[in-house]
Amino acid sequence: MEKKLQELRGRLREISDLRSATSVLYWDQTTYMPPGGAPARAQQVATLSRLAQEKFIDPALGKLLDDLAGYEAELPYDSDEASLIRITRREYERATKVPPQFVADFYGHVAESYEVWAKARPENDFAATFPYLQKTLDFSRQYADFYPGYEHIADPLIDDADYGMKAETVRQLFAQLRQQLVPLVQTITDQPVADDSCLREFYPEEKQLAFGRQVIEDFGYDFNRGRQDKTPHPYMIGFSVNDVRITTRVKENKLDEALFGTLHESGHAMYQLGINPDYEGTPLARGVSSGVHESQSRLWENQVGRSRAFWDHYFPKLQETFPDQLDRVSLDDFYRAINKVQRSLIRTESDEVTYNLHVMIRFDLELAMLEGQLAIEDLPDAWHARYESDLGCRAPDDRDGVLQDMHWFDGFIGGAFQGYTLGNIMSAMFFDQAISECPQIPEEIGRGEFGTLHGWLKENIYRHGRKFTAEELVQRVTGGPITIEPYMRYLRSKFGELYSL
């Protein structure tokens, strides 16, 4: 068995090396690659992805997993070895269900679809994307059908990002959340909107970047094992458990964009950097799911980075960095500015309270399309109708309507959005639990100290990598199932105080 396990590890390591190299190719492409490199780069990425996929769906790997099943059954469920075999099998079974030709066809299609969207969005030309979106929906349904026996056609797609979650579970969670959020948004937006003009002064790029770097270094993001570069869209990417990088986008007249983006991505990165190094080169060396990953980025961005305690410590430092812009701004006003709540059209620019309404609109539309209840041609109007009913505003065009997110133009319809809100819900559960076990955390945040929180997250979440499902992890950490109560409590308490509700 020892020998078979070693062979399994060897094969997984090779696949992991190919995938890491593909990630480096992507990182280079978005940061430093000269434009001329693009065609060859697409070809290189395609070749390496294909080789990794071929090696992963190799029947010899399936055979090894079969041979190891008896051995696995004798080990504790949460042991490293049993988990390695279990998670590898889970991913192997998912991967082998989909014919390679389908994968190739689909990636060929989305590459085109993305290009069409990138051109159509600025031109407000939904019609141009229509045939692509229709084809994407067909692909998405076919994909679901490779996993027969699902309860809801979206389930196999949701599984990809948030393994174990079902359309029905998510729908119920979201329904509860919506029921509480809609009146909260109403109460808040009945009041005058906060003034955030202080964030719109001129903030030179270099100083913004230096300030953000200092904060995430204080968080515990290790620049010896990571770095930050600029890209048009911020993201986190890992090439090993000891090389996890982030990117950011800076706007010199929008102080919050790079700053909170940096805190957000550092949360993703610290998660990956905290994975047990023994998992390197295996499927365990990743985060649990899209939702759990998002819970870690949101926790540092929002629960920490937009908290009053945090700014007690950092606002004087921010004023020192930008005296001309901020010397006459009070901490109270700044705190209100970075937590301004407003009904708005763009998901990525929305606040903590309304954000989830944006996500739920997309989630519901995905389900309706997959169910065949909503035709692609009716999608733009359905979008506008839901924005009017849920957020009380209507985009003047499709550019800021259905064309605003790249997700449906760059991947499947289904499973693309729920992780954001699941992440928000879990971030509050985890943060609550951390504080109940280490009540000194809020005070430490007020002193710019994050060691206790970071250590707790490492011990309870990071180090496990992909060993558990989201539901298992939440159960282990909080002792119960996923629930919206901590999140709603957090929002009510924070925004209740801000808006004297």
Active site members: 265
Q: How far is the CB of 16 from a second copy (least distance, A)?
A: 9
The strands making up 236-240's β-sheet, listed across from edge to edge, are: 228-230, 243-248, 236-240
Kindly give the interhelix angle for 290-298 and 470-478, rounded to the nearest 10 degrees: 50
Distance in Å, CB of 273 to a second copy, minimum: 9
Q: In whole angstroms, how close is the CB of 187 to a second copy at the nearest point?
A: 46
Under 8 Å between Cβ of 352 and 431? no
Q: Which is nearer to a second copy, 41 or 171 (CB)?
A: 41
Strands (E), 269-332: none
**Applying CB under 8 A, which of residues 3, 122, 192, 224 lies at the interface with a second copy?**
224
* Residue 18 makes contact with a second copy by CB under 8 A: yes
Nearest Cα to 12, choosing from 76, 75, 60, 44? Answer: 60
Least distance CB 55 / a second copy (angstroms)? 9
Q: Which is nearer to a second copy, 44 or 276 (CB)?
A: 44
Nearer CB in complex with a second copy: 32/146: 32
Cα gap 286→279, rounded to integer Å: 9
For residue 253, state whether it binds a second copy (rule: CB under 8 A): no
176: its two tokens: 């509860």
Choice between 287 and 401, CB closer to a second copy: 287
Check binding of 119 to a second copy (CB under 8 A).
no
Q: Is residue 112 close enough to count as binding a second copy by CB under 8 A?
A: no
Cα dist. 283→65, 90, 155 in Å? 14, 10, 22
Q: Which is nearer to a second copy, 221 or 499 (CB)?
A: 221
Shortest Å, Cβ 297 to a second copy? 20
Are the C-beta atoms of 256 and 58 separated by less than 8 Å? no
What binding mask, one character per residue, do residues 19-58 give for a second copy by CB under 8 A, x or -? -xxx-xx-xx---xxxxxx-xxx-xx--xx--x-------
Position among 7, 80, 218, 243 found at the interface with a second copy (CB under 8 A): 243
Specify the residue, 221 or 363, whose C-beta has the smaller distance to a second copy: 221
The span from the CA of 298 to the CA of 310, in Å, is: 15
Distances (CA, A) of 20 to 52, 91, 275: 10, 17, 16
Residue 483 corresponds to which tokens in the numbers above?
A: 């629930």
- Cβ-contact 219, 266 below 8 angstroms: yes
Should residue 101 be labelled a site residue for a second copy when binding is judged by CB under 8 A? Answer: no
Q: Residues in the chain, how many?
A: 501
Q: 414-439 burial, b for 16+ CB within 10 Å, e for fewer? A: bbbbbbbbbbbbbbbbbbbbbbeeee
Q: Could you say whether residue 17 binds a second copy (CB under 8 A)?
A: yes
Q: Verify binding: residue 242, a second copy, rule CB under 8 A.
A: yes
In Å, how far are 22, 271, 461 from 455, measured between CA atoms? 31, 11, 10
How far, in Å, CA of 432 to CA of 147, rounded? 37
Give yes or no for a contact between 415 and 161, defined as CB atoms under 8 angstroms apart.
yes
Asked if 231 is part of the footprint of a second copy (rule: CB under 8 A), the reply reads no
- Rg of the chain's alpha carbons, rounded to an integer? 23
Comparing CB distances to a second copy, the nearer of 239 and 310 is: 239
According to CB under 8 A, which one of 54, 195, 205, 229 is a site residue for a second copy? 229
The window from 154-162, 190-198, 240-248, 490-498 that contacts a second copy (CB under 8 A) reads: 240-248
Q: Binder to a second copy among 91, 105, 160, 222 (CB under 8 A)?
A: 222
The residue from 156, 212, 220, 226 that contacts a second copy (CB under 8 A) is 226
Q: Which of residues 61-90 bind a second copy (CB under 8 A)?
A: none
Q: Verify binding: residue 240, a second copy, rule CB under 8 A.
A: yes
Selected binder of a second copy within 175, 210, 223, 480 (CB under 8 A)? 223
Q: Cβ closer to a second copy: 226 or 423?
A: 226
CA 439-450-341 angle, 5° bins:
85
3-class DSSP assignment, residue 404: coil
Assess contact for 113 and 410: CB atoms under 8 A.
yes
Please report, as ranges, the residues that interact with a second copy according to CB under 8 A: 13-14, 17-18, 20-22, 24-25, 27-28, 32-37, 39-41, 43-44, 47-48, 51, 222-227, 229, 239-243, 245, 280-281
